[in-house]
A and B are shown apart, each in its own frame.
Chain A
C-alpha cells in the first residue's frame, strides 16, 4: 500500500478552515483557527486533542452543521459550504453522516427505534412502501448486531452500547461514503468500546467507508487509524501516518502526549523520561500570540511568540506546525 500512496485519492480536503463563535461584543471564540488537512478515500483519519480544542467543531463544520467563518471543505470534489440547490444538498447529506458522542442524547426519546433508524429513509424517500421501509430497518438492525424485535422499542430501554449501534444504523440507512465519528466510544465501558470499534471496522471493510474518527485518547486512536491529526487550541499541530507519528513525533505537544502513555515494559518505564506539561490550556477567546502551544512548550523562545508557525510537510505525508523544523527559524533553538 505505501508504495501506491501517490495515487491515492483525497476524499476530503479541508483548507484553512476557521470557525469562530461570537461570545460577546467584539469577542470571538476561535474554536477552529486555520486548520488544513486531507483524508484519503477508504482510510480512517484519527483526530485527537484535549477536551475543548475544537475537534467536534471541526467535524460539525465539515458537514455544514456550522457555517464556516473562513476556508473551504471539499468532499469528493464538492465544496461543502458553497451555495447549493436542494438536490445538491440532499446528495451531500446522503454521502456524509455523523455518529455522536453521547448515546443518551443522540436518540430522540419520543421515537421508536424503527422511526429513528428510518429517518434518513423518510427524508430521502428511499423506500417505496411501508413494507420496504420495515425490511430496510430490520436489515440495518441486523447489520449492527441487534435483532428485529428491537424495532418497536424506545431508546431508554437500551444500554449505551446498544444505543450507539442504533446511532450507527441510523447513519448507515442512507448508504453514506464518509462518516464522522465524534468520540463514539468515549461514553462506553471498555468492554463495549471494543465491540463498537470492531463493528465500525467491519462496516468499513464491507462498504469501503471513509472515517473521520474523533477521540481524545491517542493510544485508542493509534489502534484504529491509518493517519492521525493532533489538535491543540483550535490549531492542527501535526498530521502523520499513525506508525510514523508514534515512532517519530515531531511536535513537542505530540511528544508530550505520547510520553504520557504507559508502555508495557517495566524496565523501560522505570528509566524513560516523561515530558510533563506545565500550566493550563489558555482560553480560546484570547489565545497566545504566535504559536498557541508556546506557553507550555519546553523549547519555546521569543520567536515563538512573534511568528505563527507554518504548516509544512516535513516528510512525505508528515505535516507539522513548529519553528523547530522550519529552516528559517531552526537556528533560534539550541537543542
Chain B
C-alpha cells in the first residue's frame, strides 16, 4: 500500500527558519466580541428570518397608517360598514371583497376604493387600526422591557456586587414579590390607576423586572471573583470602574438575550390584558384589543380577527427566533 518515490533526496529539504518572533505572529484578522457574534448570528437562518420580520413589522407600524387616507377613528356606518378585505392581485386568495355568500360587499355599498384589510362595524379602516395597534403594542413592550432592564440590572447588580447582608435582604424582598401572583398584582394596579398605556407599562414593569434581576445577579456573582476583576482591584480600580469596564460589558450579552425574550412576553401580556378588557381604552387600539374585537365577530366577520392574530403570532415567533439565535451567537462555548 505504500507509495514508493525515489525522487525525494536529502538536498530537497531545508531547515525551517522559525524565530521566536515569527511563532508569535497571529495572521487572522482581529475580531471583537460583537463582530464575532454578528457573524455567527448571520449564519443562523431562523434568526435572520426573525430579524427580517421584526424590522418589516416595525417599519410597517411606523409608515403603514400613513398609506391610508383614513385616521384610526374615522367612522362611516352608512357607506362602508363591514367591508371585506380586497387586495388587488390577491383575489385568488379570497381577498376579493366578497362575503361568505359570495355577495360583493363593495358593490352593495357602492364603494370604489380598496380596503386591504377590510373595515369594521363602524366603518373604520382595519389596515390603519392594525398597524397603529401594532405600533402601540410595540411601544408598550419596548418601554416596559427597557424599564425591566434598568431596574433588574441595577437591583441584581447591586445585590450581587455588594453581597453579604445587602444581598440577603434584597433577595428576600424579591422572593416575597415573586410569591404574589402576577395577574393579581397587575389587575389591582390597573384598577387603581385606570386603564391606559402608562398603567399597562407600569404594571408590566412591576411584574417583569424580577427575572432580569435574577439573571444579572447570577452573572455578576460569577464574574466578580474572576481573576481579571481581582487584577483590576490589585491595580487600585474604583468600584465604579470595575462595574462599568469589567462587569457590565461581560453581562451585556446576557442582558440583551433576556431583553429579547421579555419583549415578546410583554407584547403577549399586553394583548392578554386588552383581551380581558383591562387594556387600551377605545377608540385607540392595540393588537390585543383588535384581537378581542375580531374574536367577538369571529363567526360573522372572520377577517377581522385574521390580521391582528397573524401579526401578533409572527411578531412573537420572530422575537423568539432572534433571541434563540442571539443566545447561540453570544455563547462563549461556540467560540472556536
Contacts and interface: CB of A to CB of B under 8 A. Distances in A.
Contacts of A89: 236
Interface in B210-235: 226-228, 230-235
B234 A63 contact: yes
A109 B24 contact: no
B231 A170 contact: yes
Contacts of A152: 30
B28 interface: yes
Given A60-B230, A100-B227, A100-B231, A119 B237 contact: yes
B233 to A, nearest CB: 6
A123 B236 contact: yes
B236 A124 contact: yes
A108 B33 contact: no
Given A119-B237, A162-B24, A154 B33 contact: yes
A317 B305 CA distance: 89
Contacts of B33: 109-110, 154
B179 to A, nearest CB: 25
Q: How large is the interface on B (under 10, 10 to 19, 20 to 34, 35 or more residues)?
A: 20 to 34
Given A60-B230, A109-B332, A153-B30, A145 B20 contact: yes
A248 interface: no
Nearest to A165: B24
A119 B31 contact: no
A112 B30 CA distance: 10
B132 to A, nearest CB: 40
Interface of A: 60, 63, 65, 89-90, 93-94, 96-98, 100-102, 105-112, 119-120, 123-124, 145-147, 149-150, 152-154, 156-158, 162, 167, 170-171, 174
A109 B250 contact: yes
Given A90-B236, A106-B227, A153-B26, A147 B31 contact: no
Secondary structure type dominating chain B contacts:
helix
B24 A146 contact: yes
Interface string B23-53: 0111010111100000000000000000000
Contacts of B30: 152-154, 157
Given A65-B230, A65-B233, A150-B24, 20 more contacts: A60-B230, A98-B231, A105-B227, A108-B245, A109-B33, A109-B250, A109-B332, A119-B237, A120-B236, A123-B237, A124-B236, A145-B24, A149-B25, A154-B32, A156-B335, A157-B30, A158-B26, A162-B24, A170-B231, A171-B231
A220 to B, nearest CB: 21
Contact of B235 (A60, A101, A119, A157): A119
A155 B265 CA distance: 36
Contact of B234 (A97, A102, A156, A158): A97
